[in-house]
Amino acid sequence: MISIIGGSGFVGTRLISSLENNTFFNYDKNKSVFFNSSTIKCDIIDKKSFQLNKETSGVVLLAAEHRDDVSPLSLYYDVNVKGTENVLKKMDEFGIKHLSFTSSVAIYGLNKLNPTENHPEDPFNHYGKSKWQAEQVIKEWYEKDPEGKSITIIRPTVIFGEKNRGNVYNLLRQIASGKFLMIGKGQNKKSMAYVGNVVAFIKHRLELAEEGYHVFNYVDKPDLTMTSLLKVIEKSLNKKIPSIRIPVWLGFLGGYGFDFLAFITRKKLAISSVRVKKFVATTQFDASKVHSSGFKPPFTLEEGLDRTLNYEFVQERSEDEEVFYTE
């Protein structure tokens, strides 16, 4: 029996949909629109309400605070660090030794030169800092009693896919609409990961159950520049997409303006200085380890983009269809 913690969200829902019935439980503070009968409502930061089925053979820990606008900032650490500690304590209680933990390439920081899994940590935001601290908690737990334990730490880059409403979706929507503003020259490279491949890798590691402590960056190659991404989207949608280019300094000026507007209106806005910073940064990560591990992604990056673009901007969909907001 697999216990998925935080499985009501974007990645968790895709993972659950790929599993056979009666082989999993989902533990989440939110209901699952698609798998509510298999969902137990609880919160990992609440020791009294959080529980695991004693028949659990392995845990997939997806629960996290990850949006750019989390408030108060202490929530990052309450959920991502203390919540992880609570999960490990419950695993000890039932003698569970198999864990798959979804971390993030955010631990490396921005504008690093294609970092491998051994690159020093240098997170630039509280999400990255809290994920790195959670990894240290898990490593300490493993090293305290490593016998028989199988730990997989997956550090995915930004994940995109059908029904996701995150930074990649916002970017694709702007480009597809023909109202795209390119900040800078467009030569900064972006690593991306299609949700169908991330889920397949999680399943692969669960089935392998390899003993030891293993860390993987997850990226679908090749990395695309913003200009080459624009061309891939044009090819997929079969149309020419005009774009306006502005210098980086002007992009940041606009971002800070939206920060101020968000502050005085107390509203969460789609544009911010943090998102401009992410847009113009080179976010490129080495994934040679995962792609030489024997895992074969079911989709190429271009296929993942094509599937997402076709679903979101070509096919007719119901207006009340359930989607997942991740940024």
Active site residues: 127
CA distance from start to end of the chain: 31
Beta 98-102 vs 150-156: how paired, if at all?
A: parallel
Alpha helices in the chain (DSSP H): 10-17, 74-77, 83-94, 126-144, 167-177, 195-208, 226-237, 248-265, 273-280, 288-291, 301-313
Helix axes 167-177, 273-280, angle to 10 degrees: 80
Alpha helices in 167-247 (DSSP H): 167-177, 195-208, 226-237
- Cα distances (Å, whole numbers) of residue 249 to 29, 254, 271: 41, 9, 15
Contact 181, 174 (CB under 8 A): yes
